[in-house]
Amino acid sequence: MKTSPHLFKTRPFLRKKVWGGRRLEKLFGKQLEDDDSYGEAWEVADLKEGQCTVGSGPLEGLPLRALSKGWGRSLVGAGAPDDDRFPLLVKLLDANRDLSVQVHPGQEDARRMEGAHSKQESWLIVDADDTAEIICGLTDEVGPDEFRAAVDEGRVETLLNRIKVRVGDVIDINPGTIHAICSGVALLEIQEPSDTTYRVYDYDRPGMDGEPRELHVDQALEVATLGPCEQAVRRVGGSDEMLSVVSETPAYRIERIEVDQPCRLSWSVDPDSPQVLHLLDGSMVVEDGIGDQVELGAYDTAVVPAVLGSVRAEVPERCTVIVAGLAVEQLVRGLHRQIGQPVAS
Ligand code: ZN
């Protein structure tokens, strides 16, 4: 890779899903190729199952993999577990119908189970019907035999803990927690870059190919905590703080910047982590200080390589931006705001 690391916008990898709908286009402004049901926009993804591509600048169209390999630690930071794979997976997701009930392995599970990768995930609800719910954990503790019997007898739904959610709610799904996103929810999902999913229930419905999707009950029982979830739903926003912490997990950290008037922002970037910027609201023009800039509207995503050191942004009116990165002490350091109309350059 000849070009040196710079800021870039991403173009998502779009996935059709049996439970998907049309909100990726209607709400998030993603261009869908046909009239099918789409479930996921992989805004930042460097997996063999799918790659986002560069959506701006001289490298437009290149898969993220090429940058991870070419830029290495300059992109992913000194703290990344692997120097040639991007350490986060960020998706927008439209649950028009219920998603399968599933569980992911943790780091210890992944060491003993072949082909498994640890997966922690966090959900930030961005759209929700009045009756929207998620499933997190079980209502009571049950033994593995009892759980398996419930699966075999088609009554696993009676064991699941359902929680009502609203826009602005956040929940961390720890490895081992049985979970599902239910119909009527659209969310931003930030997670470890893994597609290791053990499905325990799929509502006895056919998949995209007309056949029922495979269940993985044995593997699920090896990793699942069969009881109530320890994580609670939290609300973000609503405070006067310009910068707030959305989530802190062993694998990644999520922060949020919210400003409600025209201004110029600047902050420092921890060299141990890249930053993923995802705009929830408003617009901003982000600059990396070495001549590259990208314009972000609602539900657009940009990646700031760890090596860049700092970021500046012009906010014409207002914006809410989610900043995701590795589990460093603080992602957005020394946030500075200069109020007033940005000077045209
Ligand atoms: Zn999951």
Fold of 8-234: Jelly Rolls (2.60.120)
Collapsing DSSP to helix, strand or coil, 89 comes out as strand
* CATH number belonging to the domain at 238-339, selected among 2.40.30.10, 2.60.120.10, 1.10.3720.10, 3.30.1330.60: 2.60.120.10
Q: Are strands 185-191 and 89-95 parallel, antiparallel or unpaired?
A: antiparallel
Is-contact 301 275, C-beta < 8 A? no
Q: Are strands 169-173 and 234-235 parallel, antiparallel or unpaired?
A: antiparallel
pLDDT in tens, 277-325: 999 999 999 998 888 899 999 999 999 999 999 999 999 999 999 999 9
Residue in the block written with tokens 């709610």: 169
Is-contact 180 171, C-beta < 8 A? no
255's tokens = 């922060």
Compute, in angstroms, the gap from residue 292 CA to the centroid of ligand 1.
35
Q: Specify the domain boundaries for CATH 2.60.120.10 within the chain.
A: 8-234, 238-339
Q: What is the pLDDT of residue 1?
A: 61
Instruction: Please give the torsion angle defined by the CA atoms of residues 215, 181, 232 and 196, in that order, rounded to the nearest 10 degrees.
Output: 40
Catalytic residue among 11, 23, 65, 199: 199
Q: pLDDT below 50 — which residues of the chain? A: 345
Q: What is the pLDDT of residue 342?
A: 54
pLDDT in tens, 199-242: 999 888 887 788 888 889 999 999 999 999 988 899 887 777 89
Straight-line distance from the first to the last Cα atom of the chain, in angstroms, rounded to the nearest whole number: 31
Compute, in angstroms, the gap from residue 4 CA to the centroid of ligand 1.
35
Within 8 A by CB and 6+ apart from 5, the residues are 67, 71, 74, 75, 305, 307, 308
Q: What is the pLDDT of residue 289?
A: 81
Sort residue 217 into left (φ over 0), alpha (ψ -120 to 50) or beta.
alpha
Compute, in angstroms, the gap from residue 204 CA to the centroid of ligand 1.
19
Would you call 199 a catalytic residue per the annotation? yes
Q: Which of 82, 92, 117 is nearest to 13 (CA)?
A: 92
Q: What is the pLDDT of residue 237?
A: 75
Cα–Cα distance measured from residue 148 to residue 131, given in angstroms and rounded to the nearest whole number: 29
What is the residue-wise DSSP string for 295-325? EE-TT-EEEE-GGG-EEEEEESS-EEEEEEE
58's tokens = 């001289």
Is-contact 17 37, C-beta < 8 A? yes
Compute, in angstroms, the gap from residue 121 CA to the centroid of ligand 1.
7
Is-contact 52 64, C-beta < 8 A? yes
Cα–Cα distance measured from residue 13 to residue 30, given in angstroms and rounded to the nearest whole number: 10
**If residue 45 lies in a helix (H) or strand (E), which one and from where to where?**
none
Compute, in angstroms, the gap from residue 120 CA to the centroid of ligand 1.
8
Compute, in angstroms, the gap from residue 157 CA to the centroid of ligand 1.
17
Cα–Cα distance measured from residue 336 to residue 268, given in angstroms and rounded to the nearest whole number: 10
Compute, in angstroms, the gap from residue 100 CA to the centroid of ligand 1.
9
Q: What is the pLDDT of residue 344?
A: 54
Cα–Cα distance measured from residue 319 to residue 259, given in angstroms and rounded to the nearest whole number: 6
